[in-house]
Structure 1
Amino acid sequence: MNHDVIVTCAVTGAGDTVGKHPAIPVTPRQIADAAIEAACAGATVVHCHVRNPDTGKPSRDPKLYRELVDRIRSSGVDMILNLTAGMGGDLEIGAGEKPMEFGPGTDLVGGLERLIHVEELLPEICTLDCGTLNFGDGDYIYVSTPAQLRAGARRIQELGVKPELEVFDTGHLWFAKQLLKEGLLDDAPLFQLCLGIPWGAPADTTTMKAMVDNLPPGANWASFGIGRMQMPMVAQAVLLGGNVRVGLEDNLYLDRGVFASNGSLVERAIDLVQKLGARTLTPEEGRQKLGLKKRG
């Protein structure tokens, strides 16, 4: 069991959740306010995407990231900042017998272009999605090839940013360990076990434990489940020795029929952690645990 727990809040994500919840953060101001709300509720880390302010669709625009980070850093509220570097891996295969006629959801760029905002803003953590995945029931694939991952890991290492290794299936964990073996990751690596996303690893005890049992020695790790499995996976991660993640990126509801806020999800997770006999870490304690230096 982990008695000193880092709580990450993923405040908005890139999913098609605008319109499914009355207060999904969309603009840089809204996303920054959501991050500040989460930190004030007790989150150790905030994980941020940006969206197109006009459409609510996911975006890679460095200007939006710049405004977001400026607002967070000027707020005076301490938090460990974790920016996604996963955007730019979207491939919508053409329907039926025309797979090469890629759909409008395609946004596919190389591993280094996915890091432009990270190079400029130097967050303490950025994500590295460790493999390709059939994402949902349609023709959408998230693409992250071994060559792209090696290039991205090398650049993140050069920047001195801590990569959070996003693992959506067991093969992703296998490849992340290969990056460590090749010297493209520094000790101690940080893993995020992402469970319940169709069609990756399911959100259940057996799967989480199998992944945890295959982590490299000395690794720091967290896990999350999506939807109604969010809080059960909080408890399971703590019991297996890990850290936790909650937030509107992964789950829109606090209870059945009751919309959540990022702050309410953080508060619920902290209450659960404390009821298990553990405590949650402050941002400064989280930096010490993960070997980070405060930026900004």
Structure 2
Amino acid sequence: MPTQSRPDHRTQMDRIRHGAGFIAALDQSGGSTPRALKAYGIEPDAWSSEEEMFDLVHAMRTRVMTSPAFTSERILAAILFERTLDSEVEGRPTADYLWDVKGIVPFLKVDKGLAEEAHGARVMKPIPGLDDTLAKAVDKHVFGTKMRSVILHADTQGVAAVVDQQFEIAEKILDAGLTPIIEPEVDIHAPDKTGIELLLLASLNAHLDDLPEGRDVVLKLTIPSVTDFYHALMRHPRVARVAALSGGYTRAEAVRRLARNRGLIASFSRALLEGLDVSQTQAEFDAALEASIAEVYRASTT
């Protein structure tokens, strides 16, 4: 297949900034893949190597992406794991399939997991070869990236460490011509979750104020305890969109909480795929995915 030109960045940014819909997170990595497969009805004894495990999860993701329910009418973007980016869907590189066939903007997960807890937070592990990964992402027509940290307690030093690191790496991603999704997740079980969110909002605003014009980011945040808590953040000129992770809530609970927050859209992974099973017929699978997408879309467009 001939090499295709890079998709128009402005067209994709306009879709992310203004489109109606949500972001599908299909980026389960090595640590979370067995759980994702188990939820899909595939037990660990179904594979004997990491390669076989990733083949199984790629087959699952391919089934999702090729479903007639999975379209740009309700899905703005999809976040991919690097192995998915390196694979193909219906004979096309995955990112090209998403944009050229489905009209869905491709993002790439670039973090390598979490470091041990310190000061009530888990920053990202070092990301070796980041420059090469970003160059590959550009070459494979990816629009942006995603990276996740976790905040467990309302500790000023821990929150600062997470946000400082997120924006430090975001600068490198922006330098590569890509749009970063910054994801400082707040643990939904944190006893001081509201306090964490107050610290996080202040830190995010301070860093966003330092970004020059044209250096825009997407934020992926835990659904806040206080309704519309991030509504003003959505109007910051450097924020292209604010999305919410499901964070361990069931889909029913996640969409209920999401729908209360004006302008907040979903970026769900496990909650989006909830109810899908390898044993389902294609018609059953498509119907279950359709119901899930419809439910998440409604909550993302309230």
The normalised TM-score by structure 1 is 0.59
Aligned to 2:220: 192
Aligned to 2:25: 10
| Paired residue secondary structure (2:231) | helix
Distance of aligned partners of 1:144 and 1:35 in 2 relative to their CA distance in 1, 3 Å threshold: farther
Deviation string 1:232-283 (CA, Å, 9 cap, x unpaired) is 433543443224336543465339xx99969834643425645x7959xxxx
**Aligned mates of 1:187, 1:210 — CA distance in 2:** 24
Amino acid at match of 2:125: L
Aligned to 1:34: 64
Distance of aligned partners of 1:156 and 1:266 in 2 relative to their CA distance in 1, 3 Å threshold: farther
Pick from 230, 233, 236 the counterpart of residue 217 of structure 1.
Answer: 236
The normalised TM-score by structure 2 is 0.58
Deviation at residue 181 of structure 1 after TM alignment: 2.0
Deviation string 1:125-147 (CA, Å, 9 cap, x unpaired) is 21143x55359xxxxx9x97555
What are the equivalent positions in structure 2 for 1:160-171 lying under 5 Å apart? 160-169=177-186, 170=197, 171=199
Deviation at residue 192 of structure 1 after TM alignment: 1.6
Aligned to 2:102: 77
**Retained in 2: the 8 A contact 1:227–1:251?**
no
Deviation at residue 80 of structure 1 after TM alignment: 0.8
Distance of aligned partners of 1:244 and 1:117 in 2 relative to their CA distance in 1, 3 Å threshold: same
Structure 1: unaligned runs, 5 residues or longer: 51-62, 94-98, 100-106, 136-140, 196-203, 280-296
Higher relative contact order (CA 8 A, sep 6+): 1
Deviation at residue 92 of structure 1 after TM alignment: 4.9
Aligned to 2:137: 121
**Retained in 2: the 8 A contact 1:46–1:80?**
yes
**Aligned mates of 1:264, 1:227 — CA distance in 2:** 20
Structure with more helix by fraction:
2
Percentage identity across aligned positions?
9
**Aligned mates of 1:277, 1:91 — CA distance in 2:** 31
**Retained in 2: the 8 A contact 1:222–1:244?**
yes
**Retained in 1: the 8 A contact 2:85–2:94?**
no
Pick from 40, 43, 62 the counterpart of residue 21 of structure 1.
Answer: 40
Q: CA RMSD in A?
A: 4.5
**Aligned mates of 1:263, 1:84 — CA distance in 2:** 28
**Retained in 2: the 8 A contact 1:246–1:269?**
no
Count how many residue pairs are aligned between Structure 1 and Structure 2: 234
1:65 aligns with 2:85: yes
Deviation at residue 7 of structure 1 after TM alignment: 1.6
Structure 2: unaligned runs, 5 residues or longer: 1-17, 44-52, 119-123, 187-196
